[in-house]
Amino acid sequence: MEIKSPLWVPLNKMGGNLSSLDPMQVEVPNLEEHLQRDPYLRPYEREFRRRFAVMQDTMDKIEHELGGLDAFVKSYQNYGIHVNEDNSISCKEWAPGAEQLYLTGEFNGWNRMSHPFAKGEYGIWTLHIPANPDRSCPIRHLSEIKICVRKYNGNVVDRISPWATYVVKPPKHEGLTYKQLMWNPPQKYQLTEPHPECPKALKIYECHVGIAQAEGKVGTYKEFAENIVPRIKKLGYNALQIMAVMEHAYYGSFGYQVTSFFAASSRCGTPDELKELIDVCHREGLYVLLDVVHSHASKNVLDGLNEFDGTDSCFFHAGSRGTHFLWDSRLFDYSQPEVLRFLISNLCWYYEEYGFDGFRFDGVTSMLYHNRGAQGFSGDYNEYFGLGVDTDALIYLMVANNILHKRYPNVTTIAEDVSGMPGLCRPVSEAGVGFDYRLGMAIPDKWIELLKTKKDDDWEVGNIVHTLTNRRWMEKTIAYCESHDQALVGDKTIAFWLMDKEMYTGMSLLYGSNDIIERGIALHKMIRLITHGLGGEGYLNFIGNEFGHPEWLDFPREGNNESYHYCRRQWNLVDDENLRYKQMNEFDIAMNNLESQYKWLSSGPGYVSWKHEEDKVISFDRAGLLFVLNFHPSKSFTDYRVAVDVEGSYEIVLSSDDKAFGGFDRLHKNVLYVTEDYNFGGRRFSFKIYIPSRVALVFARKD
């Protein structure tokens, strides 16, 4: 049964005059700049203006009909279950399809009818419970509570509040359904550190608190703050992206089947302990991104959003449109104002309450298109502006980005999008979607394709360069070789593709190496450096991959007898002075530190002066540095000419062949390379170098 509240009005029909408005008459502040940068967008000017008009109309409705922007985005302060200053309780829920709501729990002896909500307009239900006669709170801290919903057919069912802030896994003997506990400690942790400035170039350490420990268990926020944050700082990353924070009943979902959006995962600790972790990160100058899942939600009914009001709709589309069949999850109805309130308030909650600095939006491609990204994209612009686009979801993303960037000028948003939609990472003032970055998802796919299907002799360096540089002008990209996606069981990390079972016996420095290990370590460094240097305006690495973490990631499940053996990070490997993992780790540190010194990620894109298929040599300059990489599996080259834009004396500032990085020390650091006035590779100046097989070099001007 589908029940809509009286407030349900599709966002693309909001505003009395929008349907009769000619989109070409809509004022978009900076649209002309957008269209001039890419003339192929000119035929879609009307659609850009229409999108902007719907976004602006939605903003107007929030301001004038939904209580004002400030109250709207801070709805987490009155929706859900709250303790007031006088210790009374206030409850507020949206359940348009319910016949009646009740609050029950330990506080009233689980009487399911003694505390009914009052029904207001638009499916909004409220309840006030006065303080006890002794002025104490009627619901004690950490006591269990539930919302009882009388459905349209008279049945009464138990639910968790969508706005619950603390939800825990029950003891084994009580089943699997998560419980909502009242979070009202005598003293709540108060954030002490301010938001740091957003780095001009993000170097992101993608991490998961639960898997971050060496022991076979779920890691905690406290352990992460104590043991992992110092590692991230030492590695030279300036940001971390924390996965699986929003509560999810199924651990193996990697946090992507969210059941409670406002509750930080209790597996890893309390809300206060998460806040303390964010403070520790900020104290170290680290910018903290939240991996946010607003593309879909878990199908769980008893401890999720699904069927909260007893109907198939409420927060989601009814019927087939409300189900993501590949992910077996529910899809939000972004046209409903109360859904918009819930999701945007959710973002502001994590920014203001927990201190997160920005957001990586998961599953944006699935949101943007009615086919949920299930088919490939040819690059034809009609795919981005036709009927296949889910306008409701697109407008939600525009509104969310518009609000976030206006309220929090220091915020950063990143889109996980594989489609390449034009304008996705341009400001809303240009009728763009408003993200700051998109993930360069084609890059890891290319590396895995080469490692799985091509011999080293068959690598096409031109194709590698094309993949690394093929991005929209003035739309920033986060480049990465591999993320959590490539670490999961069923796939392999790059290190494992390169070295596989040899990693179990060939990584000791006390014994002789072998060809597989030497090749693997050499290519592992080269792949990371060229991706870092050429692939984008930001860089991302998944926890442990900086040192070539062996094996895959497999969460405890029935199929592995609930084992944590592969659900951890083996820090002992990189900490052991006698193992080669340390060498790859040291290269990662040197690479990040060099970027911090020369800031190539925040400079313009690299200029590729040379890509020679037979030699398999690539050279490019960026931020005053010259990068040269020889991917040939056997040939080294003497007197190899490379091009630079500025004359002078150059020296090697990073060599993957250094012994400290697992190389053979075949190059001398104290050699100066003096340019010749010899036009080469589209550059006026050049000089000759020695470049060994499977070695990457970075040169900088001495003066």
Known catalytic residues are 362, 416
Q: Are strands 437-439 and 476-480 parallel, antiparallel or unpaired?
A: parallel
Among candidate residues 261, 5, 262, the one with its CA nearest the CA of residue 124: 5
Give which of 190, 189, 345, 339 is closest to 262, Cα–Cα: 345
H-assigned helices in 242-308: 271-283
Tokens 């602006």 found at: 56
Q: What are phi and psi of 262, to 5 degrees?
A: -95, 0
CA–CA distance, 530 with 392 (Å, rounded to integer): 38
**Which residue type, as a one-letter code, is found at position 440?**
G
Residue 605 DSSP code: P
Beta-strand (E) ranges in 165-202? 167-168, 179-181
Q: What 3-state class would DSSP assign to 668?
A: coil
The dihedrals phi and psi of 305, each to the nearest 5 degrees, come to: -85, -20
Q: How far apart are CA 255 and CA 323, in angstroms?
A: 18
Phi, psi angle pair for 158, to nearest 5°? -95, 140
Query: CA quadruple 147, 151, 154, 157: dihedral positive or negative?
Result: negative
Helices 391-407 and 45-64 meet at what angle, rounded to 10? 60
Rounded distance between C-alpha atoms, residue 241 and residue 599, angstroms: 21
Which of 453, 441, 686, 481 has its CA nearest to residue 588? Answer: 481
Distance CA 611, CA 509 (A): 35
| Residue indicated by tokens 């002799």 | 457
Gyration radius (Cα) of the chain, Å = 27
Query: Residue 384 and residue 352: Cα distance in Å, rounded?
Result: 34
CA 374, chain centre distance (Å): 20
Phi-psi region of 254 (alpha: psi -120 to 50; beta: other; left: phi over 0): left
Q: Map residue 651 onto helix, strand or coil.
A: strand
Task: Return contacts of 129-134, CB within 8 angstroms, 24+ apart.
Answer: 129/88, 129/89, 129/91, 129/103, 130/88, 131/86, 131/87, 131/88, 132/87
* DSSP-derived 3-state class of residue 132: coil
Say whether 528 sits in a helix, a strand or coil.
helix
Distance CA 527, CA 493 (A): 13
Dump strand ranges (E) for 49-109. 80-83, 89-94, 100-105
